[in-house]
């Protein structure tokens, strides 16, 4: 994407209609890494062609995997029988922190993993201490240089792992390392996000023995080997959230037949408290939102699943800017995830920040402005605000948008919005619709 690309959003009529969902980014990234636990060809379907997924594919290639990505069909084939390396360079790690999720599988496969330190990002320091100290409990020794981590384990051994915080990444990394570690590994206070569940499902399909018990306990019995799989990635609850909020902020009505409502309870509860009508399909599959014309303010704090997802905090805040009354949003998962506030203020939002709390006084109108996306979910918040704002909004920093979403701009446009990815201010040339120009069918051969 050209450096000076931006997204132009116009004030839009009601966002309305029905839409399919793409696979969940935060499920497919870890599932691709988990394929390192197998030797052979796996096939994943419903795979989004977002930039983070392309980055994870690149990581697999640098380790020696053979990759075929049919982006238009969202089908990914990866052959890991040719994987011979365990080194993840800074070029990959700096671009995407989720690369750390290769550590567990590489340790299980080779007893070795050399990875560049991921470093922080806009939303927080993002340390990996929970990963490292618990790998040490499984017999891993670390040699840490300025910017590299060299992990070695003659033999991984099982253990009872207690997480002081239900970290998604640490839970996933330990599960993957434990699947091929003889004996019983138990994770206490584990993360149980739907994406973690999806990973466990895929590992079970590979032949892993994993049980989940209350409260938040995952028990892994190591097996000798795991085999390749064919698997469909779960629909993205964060894309679903974005589309429902687009209808909410424009007074429209959207149906998402594939959405897994049972994994979005607290978020949907808050939308109902605002006055929006939410209709859930049979067995909790399928969501329709019919927006109220008089949305009310609501308050919430983010929390690990099943609490209110931090990844929907900023998009929800955009909608609350136009709700009647005062909303209080408290971000408890990441220490610096309110950067979108100053961009929403540029659009006329009345928001005060006190530590990790945002106090939002609803306003009648927002106004188009030039705004900057600071992270993936902030980019979504600004696009949503642009749909409701008077006039035009120009959003830069769109590498965040393309990292987390594939084709969401087109979906919003198909539902009646005006969201365009443009090359640069000067010639405002349209340059999107990946399927026509970019990643139609990508055959990526091994390096
Ligand atoms: C995953 O990140 C997601 N990323 C994030 O989505 C999501 O926001 C987050 O989980 C919480 O739901 C992927 O799945 C690729 P954590 P992760 O470990 O695993 C602290 C998006 O927009 N912590 O649960 O990195 C950490 O700093 C992204 O798609 C430690 O202190 O999240 C944070 O404050 C953003 N030490 C908190 O725990 C550790 O070793 C939660 O982090 C690990 C984490």
| Tens digits of residue pLDDT in 53-110 | 999 999 999 999 999 999 999 999 999 999 999 999 989 988 899 999 999 999 999 9
Between the two ends of the chain, the Cα-to-Cα distance in Å is 23
Ligand 1 centroid from CA 83, angstroms:
27
List the catalytic residue out of 121, 321, 380, 422.
121
Ligand 1 neighbours, Cβ below 6 Å, are 26, 29, 98, 124, 126-131, 165, 167-170, 191, 193, 195, 310-311, 333-334, 376-377, 404
Give the residue, out of 267, 307, 333, with the most ligand 1 atoms within 8 A of its beta carbon, to mutate for a pocket test.
333
Active site residue 121: yes
> pLDDT at position 123, please?
84
Q: What tokens does 306 get?
A: 């099943």
pLDDT at 408 over 90: yes
For residue 215, the tally of other CB atoms under 10 A from its CB is 8
pTM of the model: 0.94
Ligand 1 centroid from CA 167, angstroms:
6
Cα gap 398→6, rounded to integer Å? 6
The pLDDT tens digits for 18-68 are 999 999 999 999 999 999 999 999 999 999 999 999 999 999 999 999 999
Rounded (5°) CA angle 133-312-7? 115
With beta carbons less than 8 A apart as the criterion, state whether 53 and 29 touch: yes
- Stretch 143-149: mean pLDDT: 83
Percentage of the chain beyond pLDDT 90 is 88
- For 29, the enclosing helix (H) or strand (E) is helix 25-34
Q: What tokens does 149 get?
A: 């981590």
Give the residue, out of 24, 168, 172, 196, with the most ligand 1 atoms within 8 A of its beta carbon, to mutate for a pocket test.
168
The pLDDT tens digits for 368-393 are 999 999 999 999 999 999 999 999 99
CA distances from 292 to 92, 219, 250, 272 (A): 44, 45, 10, 10
- Cis status of the peptide bond prior to 306, with omega within 30 of 0: yes
Give the residue, out of 100, 117, 169, with the most ligand 1 atoms within 8 A of its beta carbon, to mutate for a pocket test.
169
pLDDT at 261 over 80: yes
- Stretch 181-186: mean pLDDT: 98
From the CA of 304, give the closest atom in ligand 1.
12
pLDDT at 173 over 50: yes
With beta carbons less than 8 A apart as the criterion, state whether 195 and 126 touch: no
Q: Name which residue sits closest to atom 30 of ligand 1, judged by CA.
A: 127
What backbone phi and psi angles, to 5 degrees, belong to 331?
Answer: -95, 115
């Amino acid at each position: 994407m050209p450096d000076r690309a931006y997204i132009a959003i116009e004030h839009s009529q009601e966002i309305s209609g029905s839409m399919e969902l793409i696979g969940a980014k935060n499920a497919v990234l870890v599932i691709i890494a988990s394929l390192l636990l197998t030797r052979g060809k796996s096939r994943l379907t419903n795979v989004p062609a977002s930039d983070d997924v392309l980055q994870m594919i690149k990581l697999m290639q640098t380790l020696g995997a053979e990759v075929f990505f049919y982006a238009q069909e969202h089908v990914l084939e990866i052959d890991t029988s040719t994987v011979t390396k365990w080194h993840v360079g800074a070029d990959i790690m700096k671009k995407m922190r989720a690369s750390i999720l290769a550590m567990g599988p590489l340790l299980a496969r080779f007893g070795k993993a050399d990875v560049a330190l991921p470093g922080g990002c806009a939303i927080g320091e993002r340390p990996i201490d929970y990963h490292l100290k618990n790998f040490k409990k499984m017999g891993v020794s670390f040699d840490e240089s300025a910017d590299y981590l060299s992990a070695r384990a003659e033999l991984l051994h099982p253990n009872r792992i207690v997480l002081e915080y239900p970290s998604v990444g640490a839970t996933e990394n330990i599960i993957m390392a434990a699947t091929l570690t003889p004996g019983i590994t138990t994770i206490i206070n584990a993360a149980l996000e739907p994406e973690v569940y999806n990973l466990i499902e895929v590992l079970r399909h590979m032949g892993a023995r994993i049980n989940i018990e209350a409260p938040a306990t995952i028990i892994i019995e190591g097996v000798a080997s795991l085999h390749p799989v064919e698997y469909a990635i779960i629909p993205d609850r964060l894309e679903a959230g974005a589309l429902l909020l687009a209808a909410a902020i424009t007074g429209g009505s959207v149906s998402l037949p594939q959405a897994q409502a049972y994994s979005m309870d607290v978020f949907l509860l808050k939308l109902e408290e605002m006055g929006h009508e939410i209709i859930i399909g049979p067995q909790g599959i399928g969501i329709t939102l019919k927006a109220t014309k008089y949305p009310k303010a609501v308050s919430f704090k983010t929390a690990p699943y099943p609490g209110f997802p931090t990844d929907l905090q900023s998009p929800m805040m955009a909608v609350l800017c136009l709700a009647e009354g005062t909303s209080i949003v408290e971000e408890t998962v990441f220490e610096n995830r309110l950067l979108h506030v100053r961009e929403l203020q540029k659009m006329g939002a009345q928001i005060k920040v006190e530590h990790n709390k945002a106090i939002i006084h609803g306003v009648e109108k927002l106004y188009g402005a030039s705004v900057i996306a600071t992270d993936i979910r902030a980019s979504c918040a600004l696009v949503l605000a642009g749909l409701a704002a008077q006039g035009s909004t120009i959003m830069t920093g769109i590498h965040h948008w393309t990292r987390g979403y594939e084709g969401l701009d087109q979906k919003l446009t198909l539902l009646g919005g005006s969201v365009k990815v443009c090359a640069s201010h000067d010639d405002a040339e349209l340059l999107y619709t990946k399927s026509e120009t970019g990643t139609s069918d990508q055959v990526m051969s091994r390096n």
